[in-house]
Structure 1
């Protein structure tokens, strides 16, 4: 997730800065506040890490189980990214975040469809999502001004790009190897998002309010 530009200082350890939230009861403002919470970023990390661990622990489960795990991961991650996109100040950045969120949700729905439940199809979908998400994150890390932990965000984007390229380039001759690879990348991406969440928590406790991770983290 990339970060919008900072604003007012936080009022407490878990207070969240951000762009003006608009009139009271404004849904977009409420989503922006939620998206700035480090706990929200932590939730996204867990949503990526958990299915990766399950896939690695039970690599011999049926393809249907793999499709369900990947599909649910993409759907939940898409929801997290949808909310996080409202924490962006710039309309272009917010639009990019929303498009990435929609991509995650669509890929999740496709993973859950029976006609597409082959290892090759699942790998293609997940690889494309990771690649696009990584590109958006890398761009945000390079282009966003006053970005705390810029190196972590850039590294997260690069990790997502590498994960997408590797999954797309790997021959689909060994379903077992592909399943393990998908699980391994999910674990790595989840761990990296966990580090970003903790770094964002530390930044929130600083003297000046940073901007939260924005569209498309590593996953």
Structure 2
């Protein structure tokens, strides 16, 4: 058999191996432990979580601004309008990113307000969709979204803390489930091995 004939078989075996591959118990337990630790940190220090989100957002905006400026000088165009727009957008992103790093708590407050406004706008659109033929569930969903947005705007700090708590609890549950799954899958895989060793001498 030639190398060309055997290559599809080798490729199919490689694809099958990738599809059926599973993370080892050690990696799965490590992932679960890290997830639990992150969830507990969010539960015990919600203020630090907000600060971290604001700092990461500021860094992301600065990097995005630098990329826009580099893109402006690498554009293959004869007109200078596109370059100017990319440079201005990049500078704006960098300035906003620096402001986020200088006042992370103000950034968090703005993000909360935008989050509440987006919920209200989304709820109004959903209600309108329900009235024009979307059905009663669309109207109920829109009303809930509007009410949730109003709650976020009226009580921004408790709303953010509640969301962080829910996210932290979810991370803790996911991490514990990953650890338990890894431990039990390992014990199930070890049982047939002991049985096969015990049954070995009995075979003729």
Bigger fraction of residues in helix: 2
Greater relative CO (CA pairs within 8 A, separation 6+): 1
Does TM-score exceed 0.5, indicating one fold? Answer: no
User: Aligning the two structures, in what range does the TM-score lie when normalised by the shorter sequence?
Assistant: 0.3 to 0.5
What TM-score, normalized by structure 2, do the two folds share?
A: 0.35
Larger Rg: 2
